[in-house]
Amino acid sequence: MKFMSDDPLQIAPDVMESLEKKGVSRRDFMKWCTGMAAMLALPSSFIPKIAEAVLAQKPYLVWLEYQDCAGDSEALLRATAPTVGQIVLDILSVEYHETIMAPSGHMAEKSLMDVVENQKGKYFVVVEGSIPMKDNGVYCCIGGRSALDLAREVCGNAAATIAVGTCATHGGIPAAHPNPTGAVGVKEAVPNATVINIPGCPMNVENLTATIVHYLTLGRLPQTDNLGRPLFAFGKRIHDNCERRGHFDAGQFVREWGDAGHRQGWCLYEMGCKGPATFHNCPTVKYNGGTSWPVQAGHGCFGCSEPHFWDTMGPVYKRLPNVPGFGVEKTADKIGAGLAAATAAGLVLHGIGRAISPKKKDEE
């Protein structure tokens, strides 16, 4: 793909024609590239580089699905134009995806093995769902082979594996107590593979797209936290960017579903929101093409992108007495309060005090 030399953003006419045939205007495409650069915190000089990278390459990708609900495939298929469906999937050669591929049976398995053998070290793998380790992995088999055996071969020979959804990253709901199948995430099942984790229940397809774009543009996976999650998407807590944060700081909490505070968009902490303990970019990127996210819709975050959230973040509608990270928040707010006027500081501390030990209704 070539750009006109006098304008780095001007896409060659033949490439533009092919994009337009897919319903993507030049404006849409450049808007998308600009959005990707912003999401990855890359300077604007990278916008033409992103455009060039995604149009110039057609890497192979295989999508493996193990113990899951197919929610991540749904997230992918519900991607709004012109994101994954029209750009990334068009620039990737998706050779294997059990749910949406045309071949079946032996022909499907052959498509997978052709990639592993002929594109060794060059292809991407996306894994959705957990891998059962108990009893030699017998609880999840495809084409007569266990998920564990397949993942070892397919992920072990890939350029990179992107584990999507909390099941593939940390075992998710199949790994919830008592975890009868010994379910684990991909990195635990295949420790020698190069794996990046994009948790969420389901994952946010924008984060998958941005990870692939980062790799295509810079030739490497994005920087990650100690749980293998890209920092551009999981570097901040939900609570840091939440639109209800002002109400938390002011001590304005919803106490009952549908009460006056709920109708006015107050903080959901006392209704069980785990946003202070959850790292994810939901408030800024949102779901369904930026339409909404759980807290905007009026429900607390239940920490779906944290490892073992089903066992550790529940009960969903109860405020945890000692939310991990809450002490950090308290310190941060105290610092913020110190910089503010005395009245404002009082409100901040009031908010924290209420979050720690809410008053009973009859005390109000």
Q: How far is the CB of 245 from ligand SF4 (least distance, A)?
A: 4
Interaction of residue 266 with ligand F3S, rule CB under 6 A: no
For ligand F3S, the closer of residues 189 and 282 by Cβ is 282
Binder of ligand F3S out of 67, 197, 217, 305 (CB under 6 A): 305
User: 313: which DSSP letter?
Assistant: S
SS3 of residue 345 by DSSP: helix
Q: How far is the CB of 165 from ligand F3S (least distance, A)?
A: 11
Locate tokens 């899951």: which residue?
68
**CB under 5 to 8 A by kind: which of ligand F3S, ligand SF4, none does 245 bind?**
ligand SF4
Binder of ligand F3S out of 278, 319, 333, 351 (CB under 6 A): 278
Token pair listed for 289: 């093409």
Q: How far is the CB of 267 from ligand SF4 (least distance, A)?
A: 3
Would you say 146 and 188 are in contact if contact means Cβ atoms under 8 Å apart? no
Q: Pattern of binders to ligand F3S over 180-209, x per CB under 6 A?
A: --------------------xx--------
**CA–CA separation, 33 and 272 (whole Å):** 37
Q: Which amino acid belongs to residue 359?
A: K
Strand partners, 272: none
Which residues sit at the interface with ligand SF4, rule CB under 6 A? 238-239, 242, 244-245, 248, 267-269, 273, 275-276, 295, 300-301
- Identify which of 173, 314, 105, 336 has the alpha carbon closest to the alpha carbon of residue 240: 336
Q: How far is the CB of 234 from ligand SF4 (least distance, A)?
A: 15
For ligand F3S, the closer of residues 86 and 281 by Cβ is 281
Interaction of residue 310 with ligand F3S, rule CB under 6 A: no
Q: Where are the alpha helices (DSSP H) in the chain?
A: 13-21, 26-39, 47-56, 71-77, 89-91, 105-118, 147-156, 165-170, 186-189, 205-218, 231-234, 238-241, 245-249, 260-263, 282-285, 309-312, 326-339, 342-356
Binding site for ligand F3S (CB under 6 A): 200-201, 238, 278, 280, 282, 293-295, 301-305
